[in-house]
Structure 1
Amino acid sequence: MEEIPTLKILTLGDASVGKTCILLRFSEDEFPTVTMPTIGIEYKTKLVQIQGEQVKLQVWDTAGQERYHRTLASTFYRRANGIVLVFDLTDRNSLDHVENWMKQIRQKADPKVAIILVGNKMDLIDQTTFPDGKALADSYGIPFFMVSAKTGKNIAEVYNTLSDMIVRQDPTVLQGNNAPPATVHVRTPPVVQKKDTMCCK
């Protein structure tokens, strides 16, 4: 059986910006009403069509807390074909921290990695544009999307655009590629019933 090409996408950003909710909306079309902080790193997969070919997107969700991120192996950065860098449209600090995340990417990732800047929780703001996010993305020469993990708006567009960027930059990825890192520690915290939070809108 012919191997399905795999594109590895890393999701980065501060804690509580909604990375896990974006991933679940994309991979399972679900929005969790109760979430727990991501511990370490986890991933989901989804089959998509790119240029008429079936491709598996392996989307990694990372913990936003600095103490976890410091231990994130450089291997995950180096093996990533694309990166979704997320901030919270309702939290200015998370936008200000994008610069620090970009420094990490520049230091650890492949120079050719495709990057998209994503502002999540657009359902919680009035305006349909976010000039600061667009200006920041333009300064790095990367696309910018406003999304809502709660409603699903623009989620698919983010991954479609990123996949197209990856293939345009390196068409050989459709010929089958490298396996995931040999050692992956995935820890899933137990589900704890608690009141809904606004962290993943």
Structure 2
Amino acid sequence: MPQKVLIHHNVSTRSLLDQLSIQTRIFKIIVIGDSNVGKTCLTFRFTGGSFPDKTEATIGVDFREKAVEIEGETIKVQVWDTAGQERFRKSMVEHYYRNVHAVVFVYDVTKMASFRNLQTWIEECNGHRVSASVPRVLVGNKCDLVDQIQVPSNTALKFADAHNMLLFETSAKDPRESQNVDSIFMALACRLKAQKSLLYRDVQRENGKVQLTQETETKSNCPC
């Protein structure tokens, strides 16, 4: 069936098609875990390339974003950071889980309690109907504190395997680990790009506005 392009006001057919061709996809990745495991520092390291000089407890929800290029396409990776303390996040939790594309579960390798609490975070995630098809990864942070490690790598790996997650052990603080931090979010972005190729099929006018209809097709050729 031939496509129809309806023009509103002085928008030319060419400019409309140009706008469609440069649509930037946004992948929403949420970061979950106990307070003080380093969620905010991980998002700073990925989006800004540095470790923050000073951090305060996240109140409610915050997000940062970074534009990355995958297979010639520019994609915005939007990393949502949430308060680990229930009193700061309770009112925002529904908004936090809405339309999520991937989940990062974070624990502190020097605090066994933060690792044990992962099951609670997974249950919360499932309780908000996050689909099993949404990619999830497990991140053990603060691995630079070698003498204080309480969570052995093999224990974390067994947990990750049991929940169908990749395991990353890294340090948001150690600049030598910055590439490892990037790998966490880039691996997810690459996987999401492979899963969801949004096609803008139809352009219709409804109530004087241009409306885009998106369809999803599955790909499996991402080299990441």
With the shorter chain as reference, the TM-score category is 0.7 to 0.9
SS in 1 for 2:91: coil
SS in 2 for 1:68: helix
* Aligned equivalents of 2:95, 2:40: Cα separation in 1: 21
| 8 Å Cα contact 1:84/1:115 also seen in 2 | yes
Name the % identity: 34
Match of 1:105 among 95, 101, 125: 125
Amino acid in structure 2 at the alignment position of 1:117: L
1:35-54 paired onto structure 2 within 5 Å: 35-54=55-74
* Aligned equivalents of 1:165, 1:33: Cα separation in 2: 32
| 8 Å Cα contact 2:31/2:79 also seen in 1 | yes
Which of the two has higher C-alpha Rg?
A: 2
| 8 Å Cα contact 1:167/1:174 also seen in 2 | no
| 8 Å Cα contact 2:103/2:135 also seen in 1 | yes
| 8 Å Cα contact 1:87/1:118 also seen in 2 | yes
Partner residue in 2 for 1:28: 48
2:96 corresponds to 1:76: yes
| 8 Å Cα contact 2:61/2:89 also seen in 1 | no
SS in 1 for 2:75: strand
* Cα offset, 1:165, TM superposition: 2.4
Q: Deviations over 1:54-84 (max 9, x none)?
A: 1000111100002223323324313110111
Highest RCO, 1 vs 2 (Cα 8 Å, sep ≥ 6): 1
2:167 corresponds to 1:116: no
| 8 Å Cα contact 1:5/1:177 also seen in 2 | no
Structure 1 outlier segments of 4+, above 4 Å? 173-178
Partner residue in 1 for 2:189: 163
SS in 2 for 1:39: coil
* Aligned equivalents of 1:68, 1:146: Cα separation in 2: 27
* Aligned equivalents of 2:48, 2:143: Cα separation in 1: 20
- Give unmatched runs, 5+ long, in structure 1: 179-201
Q: Deviations over 1:139-192 (max 9, x none)?
A: 001100001101241101101111122233x323587999xxxxxxxxxxxxxx
Q: Residue 174 and residue 72 in structure 1: after superposition, are their counterparts in 2 closer, same or farther (change >3 A)?
A: farther
Match of 2:162 among 139, 144, 147: 139
- Give unmatched runs, 5+ long, in structure 2: 1-18, 201-211, 215-224
* Aligned equivalents of 1:8, 1:160: Cα separation in 2: 12
* Cα offset, 1:52, TM superposition: 2.5
| 8 Å Cα contact 1:167/1:173 also seen in 2 | no
C-alpha root-mean-square deviation of aligned residues, in Å?
2.2
